[in-house]
């Protein structure tokens, strides 16, 4: 079952999403240490009006166990949603790089390893696509160029690479559906 995330699930959900975000957690938090990065991102999760807010996250739950998480939001709001993150990054001479355009943006998705292969990611992506359609927008995402498995899944689901972006020293395919 897919449902809205709850504020009190911060640590579990952020650790799960961090697996998908990889080293992006360090860029978003301004921290070099994994635990510090997770703690910082948990604080943002518990607040509203930022990209990692529980308000922008959906959970796939089965038998009261969180098996997956999806973060998505209206890309037109990205600059506004990134202001709180940039407030902690600006003193470090860093900033959040804008990943999306004006589409509905699938920021991150992660499925627990033990639950992979069950179609959960497809179901969550379909859910994000439905949200995009409700807003009369395309759904967009980025995927690292070397992540062939994820890119293949997105292509099977109808996503097309629109352009290539370089963010934080990594090359990404910017895809839309």
Residue 101 is predicted with a pLDDT of 83
Domain residue limits at 124: 2-176
d(CA 35, CA 21): 15
Q: What is the pTM of this model?
A: 0.93
CATH number at residue 84: 3.40.630.30
Residue 96 is predicted with a pLDDT of 87
Number of domains in the chain: 1
Q: What is the pLDDT along the chain (177 residues), one digit of tens a residue?
A: 999 999 999 999 999 999 999 889 999 999 999 999 999 999 999 999 999 999 999 999 999 999 999 999 999 999 999 999 999 898 888 888 888 888 999 999 999 999 999 999 999 999 999 999 999 999 999 999 999 999 999 999 999 999 999 988 889 999 999
Residue 141 is predicted with a pLDDT of 97
Residue 33 is predicted with a pLDDT of 96
Q: For tokens 């948990």, name the residue.
A: 42
């Amino acid at each position: 079952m897919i449902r809205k995330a709850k504020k009190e699930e911060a640590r579990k959900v952020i650790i799960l999403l961090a697996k998908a975000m990889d080293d992006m957690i360090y860029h978003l938090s301004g921290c070099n240490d994994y635990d510090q990065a997770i703690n910082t991102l948990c604080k943002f999760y518990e607040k509203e009006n930022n990209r990692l807010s529980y308000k922008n996250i959906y959970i796939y739950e089965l038998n009261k166990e969180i098996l997956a998480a999806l973060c998505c939001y209206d890309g037109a709001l990205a600059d506004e949603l990134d202001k709180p993150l940039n407030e902690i990054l600006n003193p470090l001479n860093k900033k959040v790089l804008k990943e999306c355009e004006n589409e509905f943006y699938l920021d991150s998705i992660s499925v627990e390893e033990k639950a992979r292969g069950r179609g959960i990611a497809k179901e969550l992506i379909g859910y994000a696509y439905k949200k995009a359609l409700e807003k009369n927008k395309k759904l967009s995402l980025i995927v690292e160029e070397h992540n062939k498995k994820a890119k293949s899944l997105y292509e099977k689901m109808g996503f097309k690479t629109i352009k290539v972006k370089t963010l934080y020293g990594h090359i990404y395919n910017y895809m839309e559906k």
